Amino acid sequence: MSNPNSTFPDCQVYKRVGVIGGGQLAWMLGLAARDLGIELIVQTPSATDSAVSVARDVIYAPIDDLAATQALSQRVDVITFENEFVDLVGLEKLADAGVCFRPSLSSLAPLLDKLEQRQFLESLGLAIPKFVGADHVATLTEVSKTFAFPVVVKARRHGYDGQGTFVIKDVGAWDSFWQDRPDFNSFLIEAFVPFRCELGLMAARSVSGEVAFHPLVETQQEDQVCRRVIAPGPVSSEITSQAQAMAQTLLEALDFVGILGIEFFLTADNQLLINEIAPRTHNSGHYTIEACHTSQFAQHLLAITGRGLGNPDLQSPAGVMINLLGFETATSDYGEKRQTLSQIPQATVHWYGKTQAYPGRKLGHVTVLLHNQEPETITKTLSQIESIWYS
Ligand code: ADP
């Protein structure tokens, strides 16, 4: 039956969404679902997981528990993913039995393994850093022929927040790295890119093939973990158009439905290289909740439930997002610091409700809307937030 809310006559508009995963991304998806009148059920292992507080219901199970996903599928119209730790082979059986996954399993397939993702991007002619599977250059002599140090070694699967990414500076570091890791096959090696800055783009595609891009932003990483995002990024309209064209090629080649995050390196000679694709909502898009007409979370829900996409543009001249990363091992809700942060004009503090802090753990984030894009305004705001949080 055709639906008047749909941009696509034969497209069913869904109201019940299942999410595999219950961390902070699912939590923010749940908040957006409430606003859109969408019912959200999560599959997640623990009652302390962030999304439990906003979900309509919870199936308590590990995210790779297929029986639990099958039970989830019976209560929702469409299932989506919080992260890329997806058991494609297992889920294929459910898809064959008619379960609707968005994005589809076939559009996720080339993206879940970092080496296969690089090969896929290369096959589309999209610019990426020089790379090779580690098993192809297992010896130092071979690697020295192909790359100059430093090189970057990455775990092909299950890396996140830089956990599986290692910058190897020289021969000595190369030797000691492999000493406790004999399994070359599960890594890839790539050239270290001396980038001018890193950029992020959230790109969405609907069931009918409509695409929309949030602003291209600058992302700042420390120790391979995202610390700050600045919207819009300090780049020309040509660079923005190039990034959008790359995103469009990718979305269409994958027949992707939903939102995905693209991380880029911008080199000194203005070359855009794709570092990574995250086929889901992403930390670099958190600023969209306050700064854009449609947040990345609402956009993803609109796309996967078969609706038309929302307006992704900024509704403020600029905005910054600062991650509140754990700086100690402690059990604390940091109530006083959060209170101080929330008093900054135009600031919104998001707290993920995690009970245990440890260094580097993402505990929350703050978004501040700005009246202008002046570098001094941005720097002042970033250092104000960080000096409160890390003091
Ligand atoms: P994760 O998937 O865990 O986020 P990434 O592969 O995105 O890991 O790497 C995290 C960060 O490490 C990047 O944002 C960047 O700062 C740095 N990095 C990764 N690959 C390279 C590279 N080839 N050259 C230079 N820096 C890199």
Residues 315 and 176 in one domain: no
Residue 180 φ then ψ, to 5°: -100, 10
How many other CB atoms sit within 10 Å of the CB of residue 42?
29
Q: Kindly state whether residue 114 falls inside one of the protein's structural domains.
A: no
Lay out the sheet containing 78-81: strands in order across. Answer: 57-60, 39-44, 16-20, 78-81
Domain tally, the chain: 3
Q: What is the DSSP annotation of 88-153?
A: HHHHHHHHHTT--BSS-HHHHGGGSSHHHHHHHHHHTT-----EEEGGGG-SHHHHHHH--SSEEE
pLDDT tops 70 at residue 5: no
Q: What is the pLDDT of residues 19-42, one digit of tens each?
A: 999 999 999 999 999 999 999 999
Residues 341 and 312 in one domain: yes
Residues 276 and 292 in one domain: yes
Q: Which of 108, 143, 166 is the last residue of a domain?
A: 108
Q: Kindly state whether residue 295 falls inside one of the protein's structural domains.
A: yes
Q: What is the pLDDT of residues 352-369, one digit of tens each?
A: 999 899 999 999 999 999
Q: Indicate if ligand 1 lies below 6 Å from the C-beta of 165.
A: yes
Q: Kindly state whether residue 229 falls inside one of the protein's structural domains.
A: yes
Average pLDDT, the chain: 94
Q: What is the domain extent for residue 38?
A: 16-108
Residues 151 and 171 in one domain: yes
Q: Indicate if ligand 1 lies below 6 Å from the C-beta of 381.
A: no
For residue 62, how far is its CA from the centre of ligand 1 (angstroms)?
28
Q: What is the pLDDT of residues 258-271, one digit of tens each?
A: 999 999 999 999 99
Q: Which of 139-143, 193-197, 246-250 has the lowest mean pLDDT?
A: 139-143
Residues whose CB is less than 8 angstroms from the CB of residue 145 and which lie 6 or more positions away in sequence, other chains included: 137
Q: Indicate if ligand 1 lies below 6 Å from the C-beta of 218.
A: no
Return the pLDDT at 146.
84
CATH code for position 385 = 3.30.470.20
Q: Kindly state whether residue 377 falls inside one of the protein's structural domains.
A: yes
Return the pLDDT at 263.
98
Q: Which of 77, 108, 139 is the last residue of a domain?
A: 108
Q: Indicate if ligand 1 lies below 6 Å from the C-beta of 108.
A: no
Residues 22 and 170 in one domain: no
Q: Kindly state whether residue 113 falls inside one of the protein's structural domains.
A: no
For residue 289, how far is its CA from the centre of ligand 1 (angstroms)?
25
pLDDT tops 50 at residue 196: yes
Residues 382 and 309 in one domain: yes
CATH code for position 154 = 3.30.1490.20
Q: Which of 191, 219, 244 is the last residue of a domain?
A: 191
pLDDT tops 90 at residue 175: no
Residues whose CB is less than 8 angstroms from the CB of residue 146 and which lie 6 or more positions away in sequence, other chains included: 130, 132, 137, 189
Residues 42 and 178 in one domain: no
CA distance linking residue 319 with residue 295, whole number of Å = 13
Return the pLDDT at 3.
47
User: Could you tell me which residues are beta bridge partners of residue 260?
Assistant: 203
Residues 269 and 350 in one domain: yes
Whole-angstrom CA distances from 330 to 58, 222, 360 are: 27, 22, 12
Q: What is the pLDDT of residues 339-349, one digit of tens each?
A: 999 999 999 99
Residues 89 and 64 in one domain: yes
CA distance linking residue 203 with residue 219, whole number of Å = 16
Mean pLDDT of 303-313: 98
CATH code for position 51 = 3.40.50.20
**pLDDT exceeding 90 applies to what percent of the chain?**
86
Residues 204 and 313 in one domain: yes
Cβ atoms of 324 and 354 within 8 Å: the answer is no
Confidence tier at 195 by pLDDT (50, 70, 90): very high
Residues 267 and 379 in one domain: yes
